[in-house]
Amino acid sequence: MQTVSQNKSHGGTQGVYRHPSRETKTDMTFSVFVPEHAADTKLPVVTYLSGLTCTHANVTEKGEFRQACAELGLIFVAPDTSPRGEGVPGDPANSYDFGLGAGFYIDATEQPFATNYRMWSYVTEELPKLIAAQFPVDTTRQSILGHSMGGHGALTIALRHPDRYRAASAFAPIVAPSQVPWGNKALGGYLGSNKQAWRKHDAVALIEDGARFSDLLVDYGDADGFLTEQLRPELLKAACEKANIPLTLRRQPGYDHSYYFISTFMADHLRWHAARLKA
């Protein structure tokens, strides 16, 4: 693991790191904030998954999470959204919603993407093991959150690993990718035409198929331009109500899809996670 940069912030250390990934066959960059802590102390860890077009840098620079993490004693991990580098295939039409910056947190089975686009295994297996080996993490206290495409990733990962993550939340998540254009393009391109395989990467479908989680927190802005066509939070609400999964679904008046929205409610989400991580 190579240290790209380290800066002191709120008494802790904000670092950016790079390593050769076994899963993606590329170098992967991620950021980690470690708050000030006593020697030999293990801290709970929150993993944040970013949205379309993002890298680790978007939330690291705009997310405004460090003060809350320092106060709450939380390690904050932010991976990239896709493999990158020479020879990694992108969208044939160079669109923003597939390929580079748009890994959708799944393991692709379709060529030419299957070799590198293994973001599910990267964020659920490879990166957590690396973080646990290199940072003072209490692996029994993990949680996950994300934004948009990353909200989709956080919800599906939590629903499929309910014993690993003590909390899960999302900002403006894509809750039912099988039913919206972004998801149809991504799931079809990475996984092919077998829509049964798509259901493992669709939060609403997972709940319909029996997946459960203790409780979920979701915020969205009612001025989000993607709300009606791509996000459709009402589908998650209906699925959770039918399955008796406690869902706190908050409509935030006037907020859009940007990091102005995310940063406004980030500390609130982190306090919600901390209450469950420290219970």
- What does the pLDDT look like over 92-134, one tens digit per residue? 999 999 999 999 999 999 999 999 999 999 999 999 999 999 9
Active-site option among 80, 97, 219, 224 = 224
| Rounded CA separation 176/193 (Å) | 17
Peptide bond before 112: cis, by omega within 30 degrees of 0? yes
Residue the block writes with tokens 């802590």: 37
Active-site option among 97, 148, 219, 273 = 148
**Quick one: pLDDT at residue 279?**
82
CA 159 → CA 55, 61, 109, 125, 201, distances in Å?
Answer: 24, 29, 21, 16, 10
Q: Tell me, yes or no, if 257 is annotated catalytic.
A: yes
Q: Tell me, yes or no, if 224 is annotated catalytic.
A: yes
Q: How confident is the model at residue 1 (pLDDT cuts 50, 70, 90)?
A: very high
Q: What values do phi and psi take at 167, rounded to 5?
A: -150, 150
Say which amino acid occupies 97. D
| Tally of CB atoms within 10 A around 26 | 19
**Quick one: pLDDT at residue 166?**
98
* pLDDT, tens only, 240-265: 999 999 999 999 999 999 999 999 99
* pLDDT, tens only, 142-184: 999 999 999 999 999 999 999 999 999 999 999 999 999 999 9
Its pTM stands at: 0.98
- The domains of the chain, with CATH numbers, are 2-278 (3.40.50.1820)
Active-site option among 152, 257, 269, 273 = 257
